[in-house]
Structure 1
Amino acid sequence: MPKTVFITGTSSGIGKFTTIYFAQQGWNVAATMRNPSQDQNFREFPNIKVYFLDVTDNNSIQTAIASAIQDFGQIDVLVNNAGYGVDGVFEAMTDEIIAKQFNTNVFGLMRITQAIIPHLRQQGGGTIIQIASMGGRITFPLYSIYHSSKWAVEGFSEALHYELEPFNIKIKIVEPGVIKTEFYENNRAIVRDDLPMYQPLVDTTQRVSQEAGRKGEPPELVAQAIFKAAIDRSYKMRYCVGQPAPILLMLRKLLPDNWFFSIIKRIYNLPSGSKTVTPQK
């Protein structure tokens, strides 16, 4: 009997390619998105069913999970992929922007995880794969809100594995590097502001980020890593994929803070060391 994977955020990017990759491997796929009526990606695959799901709406989560179980019999793997990125100067962030970032990237992921646990526990086990980021363990300038959401995912998932391991439920965390997806376009909310004192930092950082996005690795690479995590019977937790994730995560582990921060500043052409700034109102 084919196994079933339940994936959130499948309308584009990593979610779309992961859905297709699992289907090509013979899995049943419950592909969820906020606008299933607009889907044109999966019609050629009889083993993919599309469901409406909004990670900020608990009713839609419960309905989508119940429908997938009814259609496929059970869910073996959950892939929590839905999310987006906010970047900009923290001083310009509003409560609404911060709350929306966390409601999607953190609280939405928690809602779905909590909703699927009883099903996995009752059937004797399963796997939950959280799509985090290399930015869940390292940071870059102007991404303070996005990073804080991904660090939360890492901490939540790592702590949760202690609770679920006795029930044969594995927690996996996939940490992509720079991937060429809509993250740098449609799925990215840029906070504009009227704080000119930050403009040199913003201009420099945006140029480096956009250039990195244009040269990013293909999302199919992440889809393959997610599938590898899904079929891995071990309790290995983290799977980093796509440059420069492996090398930066290794350096973050080995180097003192100031040495590592100097590397990031060099990448973004930022000055090292402190300097006196004229106070501005």
Structure 2
Amino acid sequence: MHQPLDIKDKSSDKNSIKVEAFRKHVRTTKPHKHNNYFELIFLSQGHGTHAIDQEKIDIQPPMVFGIGKEQIHYWDMDAEPEGYVMIFRSDFIMNSHDKALLELANELFSHSHILLSKDESITQFFSLLAKELKELTVSPYVVEGLLKALFGKILQMALHIKPTQDKSKNLYQQLVDLLIENKEYDRKVENYAELLNTTPQNLNAICRKIENLTASEVIAAHIVKEAKRLLAHSNSSISEIAFHLNFKDSSHFVKYFKRHAQVTPGAFRSSSLIEKRN
């Protein structure tokens, strides 16, 4: 039988954004996901690992982690952490009239983690945001201004990456958002192109430019990633997973998964179980 993953929701209907100090007693967690909001985590202290989907990341403060909706993550720390946690719903950024804020957010969340050269001003921006959001009357202009400054500062202090001004990335991010929101797991490029008010050819060109993949390969990568989450973190049968991902039968799903993941679903699940035990 299908066993759903632990889904946590620290947001509320009245608060589209929330900033709090990282809880120091939280060192280990079970694999879970947040399907209603994004999470940005800044650590100025701590040691151990943070797993996001199939990626296990060494904690090397100062650093930030970007966790998208539907991504599965968990902590395994052996030292007291210190930092901040920010959660916000997608509509908070998407409804902003400041295009620069949207571009910075898209750039920031295109990386699972970012190592920083220093953290003093990053800590100050998080602290200012936390204080502002506790005011009885919160100014959206102040919050957006602080967010833009924070996102820009993180990217400025990031090691090995630079902010991008590529406008095509906005359309690519919209495709990613559609893939996350689409629970029918549509695999047709033309359907996404229509929703984005563009052509399949243009969507294909943008995906090649940003990811060096075709639009079809980007869609397949998302579906395979979701399949891997279910295989690794649930006890659903392969047939149940195939049905959940909108495949007509399990054999079609197995062929699709093997073509894109170079391994069968059964073999992937077995290797995931072995890795967990180790």
Pair in the same fold by TM > 0.5: no
Higher helix share: 1
Q: TM-score range by the shorter chain?
A: under 0.3
Q: Give me the TM-score of the superposition, normalised by structure 1.
A: 0.27
Q: 1 or 2 for the larger relative contact order (CA 8 Å, sep ≥6)? A: 1
